[in-house]
Amino acid sequence: MKAMILAAGLGKRLRPLTNTIPKPNLMVGDKSLIQRNIEKLISSGFKEIVINISHLGHKIKEHVCENFSDIEISFSEESEPLGTGGGVKKALNLLGEEPFLLLNADIYHLIDLNIAHHDVEFAHIIGVPNPEHNLKGDFSLDGTKVSIKKNSNNEFTWSGISIINPVIFNDTNNLIAPYSIWGSVIKKYIQDAKVTAEISQKTWIDTGTIDRLGLANKSFKEEN
């Protein structure tokens, strides 16, 4: 199974840090976010990784190539914003026709990535208990099937980690980039009860703001 890391975001909420440093290159402890996530993929047995890049993409590429020379890493370069959905669709020629693991570059986590559900029909997502910044949640569970409550809070937050079957992009030709893989692609299959999930209680922090990047560094120090 291949893996894809989403690393093309602008990191607007992390400015001024991301004016000169791409978000995936920001440090947690002694390593960058993307370095930690690549190492977790390697330790979980992944040997082929695709990374999409855009904002300050050359710095991500240089950083990754300096630290990882013994694994096959391909870069999908975006000249304009495509969003997470558009970014994945552009990279499908590198990912092939089999299910792949999809991972956000800007999360600090201890989630086990040995979740290679090769027989995923559409999508299988990893959820976490709702953090303080997303108390309304993203989804709920009915057994292993994902659902979304419209009139009350949902119990879980999407971790940004999933197994994706490329077939979910078969009917996206009408979508105009940039578009979100969650809002524009996965949700459609959730509505048809075709998405499964599992919940992790492991450390997980979305480092999308300066405060939460600080929280990730605090968590790293406490764990080490």
Q: Per residue of the chain (224 residues), give pLDDT as tens.
A: 999 999 999 989 999 999 999 999 999 999 999 999 999 999 999 999 999 999 999 999 999 999 998 899 999 999 998 999 999 999 999 999 999 999 999 999 999 998 766 689 999 999 999 999 999 999 999 999 999 998 899 999 999 999 999 999 999 999 999 999 999 999 999 999 999 999 999 999 999 999 999 999 999 999 98
- Provide the pLDDT for residue 189: 97
From CA 65, how far away is CA 13, in angstroms rounded?
27
- Provide the pLDDT for residue 18: 94
In a domain, 68, yes or no: yes
In a domain, 41, yes or no: yes
- What CATH number is given to the structural domain containing 94? 3.90.550.10
Q: Which of 55, 56, 74 is nearest to 65 (CA)?
A: 74
| φ, ψ dihedrals at 137, nearest 5° | 75, 175
* Model pTM score: 0.95
In a domain, 216, yes or no: no
- Provide the pLDDT for residue 147: 97
Which domain covers residue 73, as residue numbers? 3-206
Q: What is the domain count for the chain?
A: 1
Two tokens, residue 9: 């975001």
- Provide the pLDDT for residue 117: 61
From CA 10, how far away is CA 165, in angstroms rounded?
26
In a domain, 214, yes or no: no
In a domain, 199, yes or no: yes
In a domain, 224, yes or no: no
- CB burial class (10 A; 0-12, 13-18, 19+) of residue 25? buried
In a domain, 22, yes or no: yes
In a domain, 126, yes or no: yes
Dihedral sign of CA atoms 61, 64, 69, 73 in order? negative
